[in-house]
Amino acid sequence: MDSSKWVNTSLGLSLVPNHSPHAMELMEDEDQPPVSTSSMTAAAATAVGAGGSVLLGEELNRISLENKKLTEMLTVLCQNYNALEAHVKELASENELILANNCLIKKRKAPPLDGTIGFTRNATSTTAETSFSDEESYKRPLEMSSNINLKISRVCVPTDVSDTRLIVKDGYQWRKYGQKVTRDNPSPRAYYKCSFAPTCPVKKKVQKSAENPCLLVATYEGEHNHNHPAQPQVITIDHRQGPNLITTTTTSIPLVLDDHSSNILAHKRSSSSPTTMSMSSSSDHNSSLMEPGSSCGHKPNQVIEAAADHHPQYDHKATNFQQLLVQQMASSLTKDPNFTTALAAAIAAGRFNPPIPKW
DNA sequence: CGATTTTGACCTGCGC
DNA sequence: GCGCAGGTCAAAATCG
């Protein structure tokens, strides 16, 4: 796993803290489980209490205020997101109309790599349905029925230029069934089927980007009809109980590109704007999050983190926002001298046992 | 030994 | 009709 998938929690702490006796008393409660990175704020609140109940109260007030502000920010962002999503859907339907009017009844046309796959395939799949011969419809009934609502998305994953393996780890189980050298790309294209469930119709194609050989482009077709075999990494903030409760589970989340978001990505490559969030036009829960300087190769550990399109049971819009939120919180916490002092005290007392992520 | 990968052959659609 | 290109199949090879 790429270490960039994790929030940087390095605090530059000294392991020789100047904690007070009060802090030690507070930390002598043997019933408490070991503190993890995900409950750092709890450790902070506990240790800050070492300075006295007044300090603890102030700290709690401050955290409550911060929590309130973050909640308000979340509300505003959700509203903005909904408005933007509605706009994207509107644009998508307009695009589909244009394609339909142009009568692009080409049964198969090599989809360009510049991010027009979804609309083209959606438009052609419906027309191709009526043009298959009886033999073909006999041979591919399942495929056609699934193509009607075929969902196509693209995932970009940074890779080493010299790495010839066409592997995109997304948590699912894939069986490779073919590899082809395509005309417009010196890198071969690998074909995979989802092998986690025998009836799962999802396929993916993996090929290095012709423009950026350090980017692997995986094109997913269809939707999984089963649960994700590995739980994705989700950072959950329980706002009802304040920012003290942050829990984590596991996964890596690649960048999902579909038609619209890849256009946004293309635009971003040329504009070098700050952190950008792009939305999917073809999915209900796609979203993509890019770090600044995310063009190929330069900062692979920062390059791409976004929603996986194939985890229908997870709301990745919220997850990505939460990741961003947690990064901000971690950043603000690490700048807080009270917090670092308190955390150092907690570590020295042997109560802080962060989990080591598996890469 | 079962699962997965490799790879050449085959199928299908499209353009000329 | 023919050739090209993308996609799939399936037997052989490889891996754990």
Residue-wise DSSP of A242-302 = -TT-EEE-----PEEE-HHHHHHHHHHHHH--SSEEEE-SS-SS-EEEE-TT-STTTSTTT
Is the separation of the CB atoms in A270 and A185 below 8 Å?
A: no
A80 phi/psi in degrees, rounded to 5: -60, -40
- Per DSSP, the three-state class of A157 is strand
Report the pLDDT value the prediction gives residue A212, as an integer from 0 to 100.
81
Tokens 């969030």 belong to A277
Is the separation of the CB atoms in A196 and A185 below 8 Å?
A: no
d(CA A305, CA A307): 7
Residue A291 neighbours by CB distance under 10 Å: 16
d(CA A168, CA A254): 9
Q: Cα A135 to the chain's mean position, in Å? A: 42
Q: For residue A124, which nucleotide's C1' is closest to its Cα?
A: B13
Task: Give A358 CA → C12 C1' in Å.
Answer: 36
CA dihedral A168, A174, A179, A180 (to 10 degrees): -70
Is the separation of the CB atoms in A350 and A359 below 8 Å?
A: no
Encoded amino acid at A342, one letter: A
Task: Give A64 CA → B16 C1' in Å.
Answer: 72
**Opening angle at CA A317, ends A315 and A320, nearest 5:** 110
For A82, counting Cβ atoms within 10 Å of its Cβ (0-12 exposed, 13-18 middle, 19+ buried), the class is: exposed
Report the pLDDT value the prediction gives residue A163, as an integer from 0 to 100.
75
A81 touches strand B (CB under 7 A): no
A135 Cβ partners below 8 Å, 6+ apart? none
Q: For residue A110, which nucleotide's C1' is closest to its Cα?
A: C6
Report the pLDDT value the prediction gives residue A346, as an integer from 0 to 100.
55
Task: Give A182 CA → C5 C1' in Å.
Answer: 8
Q: Which nucleotides of C are covered by protein (CB under 7 A)?
A: 4-10
For A24, counting Cβ atoms within 10 Å of its Cβ (0-12 exposed, 13-18 middle, 19+ buried), the class is: middle
Q: What 8-state DSSP symbol labels residue A285?
A: S
Q: Cα A96 to the chain's mean position, in Å? A: 27
Mean pLDDT by 10 residues, chain A (359 residues): 38 38 37 40 44 73 81 71 64 48 36 34 32 33 41 79 77 84 84 79 84 83 73 36 34 42 39 33 34 36 35 40 51 54 56 41
- As beta bridge partners, residue A191 has A178, A205
Q: Which nucleotides of B are covered by protein (CB under 7 A)?
A: 3-9, 12-15
Q: Radius of gyration over alpha carbons of chain A, in Å?
A: 24
Distances (CA, A) of A64 to A33, A56, A67, A70, A299: 24, 12, 5, 10, 36
Task: Give A328 CA → B3 C1' in Å.
Answer: 44
- As beta bridge partners, residue A246 has A237
> Which two tokens mark A219?
């094109």
Report the pLDDT value the prediction gives residue A87, as an integer from 0 to 100.
64
Report the pLDDT value the prediction gives residue A230, as an integer from 0 to 100.
55
A44 Cβ partners below 8 Å, 6+ apart? A59, A333, A336, A338, A339, A342, A343
Report the pLDDT value the prediction gives residue A296, as an integer from 0 to 100.
40
- Per DSSP, the three-state class of A255 is strand
CA dihedral A307, A310, A313, A314 (to 10 degrees): -10
Report the pLDDT value the prediction gives residue A138, as an integer from 0 to 100.
31
